[in-house]
Structure 1
């Protein structure tokens, strides 16, 4: 009976843990864009970043066909339509795991002021996007969504930048070998791989290795993705796109050492900034002035370089 009870507790516990990994949720925020909690507004801004309700920007609803076989909804915010006369190109914003396109709405004014149109969209199984798979795949399927969004923009723009957070940043890195024409990418708190994310988590430190490995295998089986596509496997294959990697030393979800290792794997131009403050996905809020100064210098340096080469 004791053995049966222990086995039952283990099965229930590991199943619940896999649910949290495959279907992460931001506190107080649901996929219903019409709903928003007070906690959600603290994280993403008024109406949880829903620009349909804030009416802060002139924007267009767009649909991006993904190579995964479905259409992804997005918002295109044109600089000219929002009072910016000099247009320099476009930046693609890629949200983190368990979030949606509303997460990075707070960054739109900054990029508009630099003269860039802004495109944000929902990755598969996030926000209003279709979910034909069982949840998050930590860049495996999401990287193909990113590549599809890039192809969508490459038909309309000559100058493209990208910015991604967490799973969004990792998805960009996985697709990086195919993004040769992107002029610069800002990456917040990317991970080396799904396995390293779980192995390096504080929760795993208190568990025996066999239990952690069992959890990883269960997530892979339930999530129907493999471990071959990862930033650490893709970075050695890319070399031309300038990267700015930003990772807080206080990040308790993805250790900043992941970004240190990723930088060493990349032979192309890269810059890093490891601020002392800022939780996972909240570096801009804690260090807004320095954050924007560093990003602005990175953008000017690399967009000017591209113009000179042409």
Structure 2
């Protein structure tokens, strides 16, 4: 059938009209989706902005206000103790040798409320060996024994007394350790936590220790515990009760200074620092230290990421410039490359020597017979050293105007003998010196320190020849007192006297067992090696110590390798 031109035209026009309608519909639909997406995007931006604004309000307004007005929040900021074990069985059955778990009652300020503090009493190593094989071992009697002094250990925040067992292992070589938990920590009683109340608890625990021993008590604090320890010592000294020494490990100058990492918060002082101070969270270690009279040792690591080591330096400046006391102030800073950070200073191999030196501990395996000087050394008590005999030797001298020269000496017992010494008012030092189980160390000090013909030694000609003749006489006197090996240790100028002494002894066919030269004048190692041709001559060893700040007269603190060699 034939189709007219008119019909074809209308068919084409209808098709084109339908296509345009479809495109218009699709375009309108796309625009609607776009408008919807834009609205959603704008809504999302608004929501995110509101959330961001809310976060800013919470951080910069809400949190400061909460800290300012909530004592509970302040308490949790300072005394972090959530998640610590609190079951008595945990502390009673803890895997650690030779300790007992105790609960010591203390009264709150005002005496209205009673609390108990969870306490560990850890035995010294020598006593621990006995206790491990004796189920009836009397810990109370052991604590009363004056042979070992006591450390009262204050842990840091967020810890319990069970978190420093590796440190206790080191300290137990020399001390009884009393480690405890503050109120509300671990298995101690719950109570309000303020600095004054915690310090009051600590004072009572100190009294509890004092009632059970007459040995010296040292106070050791770590981090926040160092400030509590310093405040406790200050409060005790104000009551005329004097701990033997204070050790501050990783300590801060004040809690305000420590909190300055948050100083970017607006109104920081008004909303954080002042409310903490007003509510009894002060912890002004620097202020306490200014008024403490006992000896102080400060330990800090350069890489401490929690308490910057500059705080330790500042505390040492304060301790070393205290007025009204001649007590010792010592600072040990540990190189950042060692990786001790905030908690691991106890890993340092020389820490035990720092403890020995600061706490006036004696060399544990040898006798020391040293020629002394300066002032009057006959009053041993004022030096606060145990097991020391002051005596004098008359040295005949043909060329001096007087008939003889009197030399002042000290004999210091090995640490193992101190228990017998303390229990015996008339200790037999001569008999102890004749004991062949212990070596003898004859110490010759440097210039300006302790030397024959100084102070309470006789005044006479000061020449090298005369001094060496005196020391030769002392050496021969020692040989007549004991069959033990005798080692000669010289420091600085004393190294010249020591080598001259050995040379004179050799000329008389008197042999010595060893010579130690500390900080000598010249490079003696190569000379000693190159000139020792006889096969019967002993070995020569040289130890150069890495920079630890020991300067010229503190080498003994770094004598771990020497100790191994001489044994």
Give yes or no for the alignment of 1:63 onto 2:109.
Answer: no
Please give the per-residue CA displacement for 1:66-111, whole angstroms capped at 9, x wherever unaligned. Answer: 5544221211123365126983122111111121211222222222
Equivalent positions of 1:176-191 (< 5 A) are 176-177=233-234, 178-179=236-237, 180-191=241-252
Change (3 A) 1:249 1:142: farther
Partner of residue 164, structure 1: 221
Aligned residue pairs total 280
Alignment partner for residue 242 of structure 1, among 295, 305, 313? 295
Cα distance in 2 for residues equivalent to 1:128 and 1:299: 31
Equivalent positions of 1:81-230 (< 5 A) are 81-83=127-129, 87-114=147-174, 116-133=175-192, 135=193, 137=194, 139-158=195-214, 159-177=216-234, 178-179=236-237, 180-199=241-260, 201=261, 203-204=262-263, 207-208=264-265, 210-211=267-268, 213-219=270-276, 224-227=279-282, 230=284
Cα distance in 2 for residues equivalent to 1:76 and 1:258: 31
Judge which range, 242-251 or 174-183, deviates more.
174-183
Change (3 A) 1:81 1:295: closer
Q: CA deviation at 1:197?
A: 1.1
Partner of residue 356, structure 2: 296
Alignment partner for residue 287 of structure 2, among 214, 229, 233? 233
Alignment partner for residue 10 of structure 1, among 60, 85, 92? 60
Give yes or no for the alignment of 1:282 onto 2:344.
Answer: yes
Partner of residue 45, structure 2: none
Structure 1: runs of 5+ lacking an equivalent: 36-46
Cα distance in 1 for residues equivalent to 2:156 and 2:57: 34
8 Å Cα contact 2:151/2:217 also seen in 1: yes
Cα distance in 1 for residues equivalent to 2:254 and 2:275: 16
* SS of equivalent to 1:190: coil
In the superposition, the TM-score normalised over structure 2's length comes to 0.44
Cα distance in 2 for residues equivalent to 1:9 and 1:231: 29
Q: Which runs of 4+ in 1 moved over 6 A?
A: 1-4
Structure 2: runs of 5+ lacking an equivalent: 1-48, 68-72, 131-141, 364-380, 389-421, 423-567
* SS of equivalent to 1:257: helix
8 Å Cα contact 1:95/1:164 also seen in 2: yes
Q: Which has the higher contact order (CA 8 A, sep 6+)?
A: 1
Partner of residue 253, structure 1: 306
